Structure 1
Amino acid sequence: MDRDEIIKKVETARREGSKLDLRRLNLSKLDLSHLDLSEVQLHEASLNQTNLEGATLRGANLVFANLIKATLRGADLREANAVFANFRLADLSGADLTKANLSAANLFGANLSKAKMSGSRLGEANLAETNLSGANLNGADLNEADLNEANLSGADLSGADLTEANLSQTKLAQAKYNQQTRWTEGFDPISAGAVKKRKWGLF
C-alpha cells in the first residue's frame, strides 16, 4: 500500500461518513506527511520509520501500534488513544498531544521537545532518555512513568502528577511547576533545578 492508496481510502471513508480502518496493516516507511487521518483506526498497525510530519491524527486509535523511529514533527495527535503504542526513538517534536492517552506507551529515547501535552495521560509510560525539553505538560498524568535520564529542562509541569514516577537522573533545569504539581514522595524539585511558580503564575 502506498500514499496514493491511503489518500483514496481517506476520500472513500469521508464520502461514506465512516472511520478509516487501517488496523494491523504494514505502513512502515511510507510518506503520509500532512495527510488528514483524523479518527483513523490504526490498532496494531506497523508505522515504523513512517513519515507523518504535520499529519492530523486527532482522535486516532493507535493502541498497540508500532511507530519506532517514525517522524511525527508538528503532527496533531490531540485526544488520540495510543495506549501501549511503541514510539521508541520517534520524532514528536512540536507535536500536539493535548489530552492524548499514552498510558503504558513506550517513548524511550523519543524527541518530544516543545510538544503540547496538556492533560495527556502518561501513567506507567516509558519515557526514559526522552527529550521533553520545553514541552507543555500542564495537568499531565505521569503517575508511575519512567523518566530515568529524561530531559525536562524548561518544561511546564504545572498541575502535573508525578506521583511514583522514576525521576532518577532526570534533567529538570528551569522546569516550571506550581502548588498543584505532585511529586514522588521525598523528591526535591528545587534541588533538581526546577522553578516553582507563585500563586498568580509569576516566578
Structure 2
Amino acid sequence: MVKMNVSELIERYQAGERDFKGIDAISAALSGVNLSGANLKEASLSEADLSGANLSATNLQEASLSMANLTHADLSGAKLNGANLSGANLKGANLSGAELKMANLTQANLTDANMDGASLWGAYVAGAKQ
C-alpha cells in the first residue's frame, strides 16, 4: 500500500498518470474529482468522499470502498469486481454498464442509482437499500 495525499493523486492524474494500483486513500476528500479511466485496483478508499466524482471506466477491482460516499458519482463502465462496497452510499450514482461481479454491497444505499446493464453476478446484496 502506498499512502498518497489527495493533492498528489490529483496532480499525478492531471499529468497523465493512470496507474494508482493499491494506493491508500482512506477517508480522502475526493468530492467531484475526475479519475476517469484510472487503475485503482486494490485501492483502500474506505470512508472516502467521492460524491459527484467521475470514475467512469475506472478499474476498482478488489478495492475497499466500505462506508465511502459515492452519491451521484459516475461509475459507468467501471470495473468493481470483488470490490467491498459494504455500507457505501451510492444514492443517485450512475452504475450503468458497471461490472460488480462478486462485489460486497451489504447495507449499501442504492436509492435512485442507475443500474442499467450492470453485471451483478455473484454480488452480495444483503440489506442493500434500493
Q: TM-score, normalised by structure 1?
A: 0.60
Q: Which of 60, 78, 90 is residue 120 of structure 1 equivalent to?
A: 78
Counting aligned pairs with the same residue, the percent is 38
Q: Is the 8 A contact 1:130 1:149 kept in 2?
A: yes
Distance 2:23 2:4 in 1: 11
Shift of 1:81: 0.2
Distance 1:128 1:58, change over 3 A: farther
**Aligned partner (choices 29, 42, 59) of residue 101 of structure 1:** 59
Deviation track 1:95-149 (CA, whole Å, cap 9, x = no partner) reads 0000000000000000000000110000000000000000000000001000000
Structure 1 contact 89–108 (Cα < 8 Å) conserved: yes
Select 1:149's aligned residue among 96, 107, 119: 107
Aligned twin of 1:111: 69
| Count, aligned residues | 130
Alpha carbons of structure 1 residues 105 and 165: separation in structure 2 relative to 1, 3 Å: same
Distance in 2 (alpha carbons) for counterparts of 1:68 and 1:163: 27
Unaligned runs of 5+ in 2: none
Q: What one-letter code is carried by the residue in structure 1 that aligns with 2:118?
A: A
Q: In the alignment, what sits opposite 1:139?
A: 97
Q: Deviating runs (4+, > 4 A) in structure 1?
A: 56-59
Which residue does 1:160 correspond to in 2? 118
Amino acid at match of 1:37: R
In the alignment, the residues of structure 1 paired with residue 36 and residue 17 of structure 2 have an alpha-carbon distance, to the nearest angstrom, of 6
Check whether the contact 1:62–1:80 (CA below 8 A) recurs between aligned residues: yes
| Matched letter for residue 166 of structure 1 | Y
- Superposed displacement of residue 61, structure 1: 1.4
Larger radius of gyration, structure 1 or 2?
1
Distance (Å, rounded) in 2 between the aligned partners of 1:57 and 1:116: 22
Q: Which has the higher contact order (CA 8 A, sep 6+)?
A: 2
One-letter amino acid of the counterpart of residue 145, structure 1: A
Q: How far apart are residue 37 of structure 1 and its match? A: 2.8
RMSD: 2.1
How far residue 62 of structure 1 moved from its aligned partner, in angstroms, is: 1.5
